[in-house]
Amino acid sequence: MPSPDAARTLSSVLAPDGDNWLSLTDEILDPTSAAEWVCRPDCGAVVCFTGYVRDHHGERLGVERLTYEAYSRFVVAVFAEIVDEVRGRWPALGRIAVVHRTGVLTVGEAAVTVAVSAPHRVDAFAAACHTIDAVKARAPVWKCEEWSRGREWVGAE
């Protein structure tokens, strides 16, 4: 069950709606809060994926920061469509959290978290993988990569 600190962290970003927590925020992400929030007594499996800013992209070394921008008016709606599809495919799921950050992030900072609970691990793993893949492919979120010699808007990876 979520700790009181996790509940405070969650509410400072965006209060979850029922069994879905879908949010776009410019605040620092706390993946532990998402993982704790998805826990339910009827779910024995929790899978949490967190994407962090790394110091390279392909063969480009020395990435220093990423800037994430989003079409904020539609992001949560796209997250909701994805979660509806995921719940249709894996109906036994418990809670699902999809939280993406915007703004300037430096190496090592969390950019996106997806957490899923389910009665069994097979569904939790499959649903979490499908969710992050769909978010990367469909959510109107873009990133600009910066390194010592320049910057470039790059595709999802």
The highest-confidence range among 3-7, 59-63, 78-82, 153-157, by mean pLDDT, is 78-82
CB distance 19 to 87 below 8 Å: no
Burial label, 101 (beta-carbon count in 10 A; 0-12, 13-18, 19+): buried
Q: What is the pLDDT of residues 114-136, one digit of tens each?
A: 999 999 999 999 999 999 999 99
| pLDDT at residue 156 in the model | 52
Q: Report pTM.
A: 0.87
| pLDDT at residue 58 in the model | 87
Q: Please compute the mean of the pLDDT values over residues 51-69 and round it to a whole number.
A: 94
Angle subtended at Cα 47 by Cα 119 and Cα 92, rounded to the nearest 5 degrees: 30
